[in-house]
Amino acid sequence: MSSVIGIDLGTTNCCVAVLRDFAPEVIANRQGYKTTPSMIAITEDGKRIVGQLASRQRVTNPHHTIYASKRLIGRRWDDKEVQHALKHAAYQVIPGPHDDVRLMIRGEEFSVPEISAMLLQEMRVIAEEYLSEPVDQAVVTVPAYFNDGQRQAIRDAGLIAGLDVLRILNEPTAAALAYGFGKGDAKTIAVYDLGGGTFDISILELRGGVFEVKSTSGDTFLGGEDFDGRIIDHLCEI
């Protein structure tokens, strides 16, 4: 039976882990980093690059480098989050045939799940190179506030990447498990996640080893990248 990998498909970075000797191990990429930038770029000669190499293209090739696509996945064209993203994206974002969101890179049209699939495929390759075996099953984490459409879009991205997504796990639940909650008495805990692209907070209730999300809230445009943007805007005004 092949290994099942765990993937954190983040707005700014991705990472992949596997269970070895009953302990999770985060796998380093080819550059030796345990996180990989969530970026896809297509160079002038048509070469598609992912991760660290793509991040270098954001300055020299901004109109053909996709970043923070997680903010768009599973959303409709007229969603306020999409319209907000349009104001900040250097790449071209267009409406799709089903009121969905499409991204244009060098004249080629991609759906957001296709972009996410490229990132998932990169995580899969990193795991396969480390494990020296094929990998076709994964658990993927998502924000607790993701709706059914967004969760299905993640599953679709997994299929495109050749991965059977066995489970979509809420990110705060994954964080609580990582910190050792779930082994003791019933309790209620708060988990907040201030990432590169989003800020989320969830209230979890733990009873009998089962986590239940009681309440969740967040801001899709409150993260490290947004802080950087505000600082840049301020410096430009000085």
Active site annotation includes 219: no
Distance between CA atoms of 34 and 26, rounded to whole angstroms?
6
DSSP annotation string for 7-41 = EEE-SSEEEEEEEETTEEEEPP-TTS-S-EE-EEE
Q: Which of 100, 156, 193, 225 is catalytic?
A: 193
Selection from 162, 147, 72 nearest residue 117 by Cα? 162
Cβ(220)–Cβ(197) below 8 Å? yes
Q: Which of 100, 122, 156, 171 is catalytic?
A: 171
Q: How is residue 223 written in tokens?
A: 């993260």
Q: Which of 8, 156, 200, 225 is catalytic?
A: 8
- Tell how strand 199-207 and strand 187-194 pair up: antiparallel
Tell me how far apart the 2 most distant CA atoms of the chain are, in Å. 60
Active site annotation includes 70: yes
Q: Which residues are catalytic?
A: 8, 70, 171, 193
